């Protein structure tokens, strides 16, 4: 990164990207590409203090850092476009919601160049105040420190967690399994409660919950000890969802997980790794049943 105020190229400033870009404007010149973007996006970028570039080449040619914030399905295409536009040195931060294997593939695109790739994941809403949003980083320590420096003193909390590319993506993927899927489950639960006319009561019951489930992995053996009983409950719930004309796939999946742990009824393991092994074994058995090697 240059000793003067660095230049950051930001792709693409949706609500999250514009907010992240704003957090970097105190320490960097932040560019974006208006081409093909909507008026709403342009308005967000302008309000965030981002400066427009005429084309991709102009966007990246003098950039010290390129930040990719886009839908995960186009992350590889965006990285390839940045490379094709002549970005051959500097930092490339991919902060998209990718699985580690796809993050590794993005990094491989820059092999043979002087581009240093940083793996990033954002957890939380678009940052507008302190304490709401974290950017986790994985990569060479000097590179993650450079990215962190862009946001020093801003409302975005930056936390390097590993020098291994893929670690930040793995964290985001694991967190999404719970956070995003739990929202889908809440929608499913409320749809079923609405079907039976008890939606208000369900919402009231929900307000009594305050346990940080994701922060309690050591509680999983207790869950496994109850799995023999919870699996039939999931089967009943799936039947109710089907009868109400609602999707039952997620609940059938929960039933499968509890089935994998059902043998722990009398002697749940102290080591949660054993529980994870049982889930992998269940997945392998299912794959074999479908003839998948």
Q: Is there a domain that residue 2 lies in? A: no
Do 35 and 103 share a domain, yes or no? yes
Q: How many domains does the chain have?
A: 2
Same domain, yes or no: 102 and 41 = yes
As a whole number of angstroms, the distance between CA 141 and CA 159 comes to: 11
If asked whether residues 150 and 216 sit together in one domain, one would say no
**In which domain, by residue range, is 91 found?**
7-163
Give the torsion sign (CA, 154, 159, 163, 169).
Answer: negative
CATH number at residue 114: 3.40.50.720
What would the pLDDT profile of 117-175 be if each residue is shown by its tens digit? 999 999 999 999 999 999 999 999 999 999 999 999 999 999 999 999 999 999 999 99
Residue 194 placed within a domain: yes
Mean pLDDT of the chain: 95
Looking at residues 6-22, what average pLDDT do you find? 93
Q: Please give the pLDDT value at position 2.
A: 46
Identify whether residues 157 and 178 lie together within a single domain: no
pLDDT at 13: 74
pLDDT digits (tens, 9 = 90+) for 190-223: 999 999 999 999 999 999 988 889 999 999 999 9
1 in any annotated domain: no
Q: What is the pLDDT of residues 251-278, one digit of tens each?
A: 999 999 999 999 999 888 989 999 999 9
Residues 217 and 177 in one domain: yes
Confidence of residue 3 (pLDDT cuts 50, 70, 90): low
Based on the fold, state whether residues 16 and 149 are members of the same structural domain: yes
Does one domain contain both 215 and 96?
no
Residue % of the chain over a pLDDT of 90: 90
Is there a single domain that holds both residue 130 and residue 218? Answer: no
| Same domain assignment for residues 235 and 158 | no
The phi and psi torsions of 32 (rounded to 5 degrees) equal: -145, 170
Backbone angles phi, psi at 165, to 5 degrees: -60, 130
pLDDT per position as a tens digit, 93-119? 999 999 999 999 999 999 999 999 999
Cβ contacts of residue 99 below 8 Å, gap of 6+? 169, 170, 173
Residue 166, token pair as written in the block: 């893929």
Residues 126 and 85 grouped into a single domain? yes
Within a domain: 181: yes
């Amino acid at each position: 990164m240059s000793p003067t105020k660095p230049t950051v190229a930001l792709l693409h400033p949706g609500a999250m990207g514009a907010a992240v870009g704003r957090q970097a404007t105190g320490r960097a010149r932040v560019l974006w590409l208006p081409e093909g973007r909507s008026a709403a996006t342009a308005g967000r970028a302008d309000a965030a203090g981002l400066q427009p570039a005429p084309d991709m080449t102009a966007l990246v040619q003098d950039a010290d850092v390129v930040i990719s914030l886009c839908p995960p399905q186009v992350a590889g295409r965006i990285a390839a476009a940045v490379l094709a536009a002549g970005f051959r040195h500097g930092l490339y931060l991919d902060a998209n919601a990718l699985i580690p294997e796809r993050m590794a593939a993005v990094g491989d695109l820059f092999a043979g160049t002087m581009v240093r790739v940083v793996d990033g994941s954002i957890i939380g809403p678009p940052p507008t105040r302190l304490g709401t949003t974290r950017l986790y980083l994985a990569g060479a320590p000097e590179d993650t420190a450079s990215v962190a420096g862009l946001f020093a003193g801003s409302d975005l909390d930056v936390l390097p967690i590993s020098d291994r590319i893929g670690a930040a993506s793995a964290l985001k993927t694991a967190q999404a399994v719970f956070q995003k899927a739990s929202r889908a489950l809440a929608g499913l639960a409320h749809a079923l409660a609405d079907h039976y006319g008890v939606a208000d009561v369900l919402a009231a019951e929900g307000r009594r919950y305050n346990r940080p489930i994701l922060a309690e992995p050591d509680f999983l053996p207790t869950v496994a000890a109850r799995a023999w009983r919870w699996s039939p409950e999931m089967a009943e719930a799936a039947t109710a969802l089907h009868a109400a004309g609602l999707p039952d796939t997620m609940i059938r999946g929960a039933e499968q997980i509890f089935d994998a742990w059902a043998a722990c009824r009398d002697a749940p393991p102290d080591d949660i790794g054993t529980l994870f092994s049982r889930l992998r074994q269940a997945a392998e058995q299912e794959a074999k049943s479908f003839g998948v090697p």
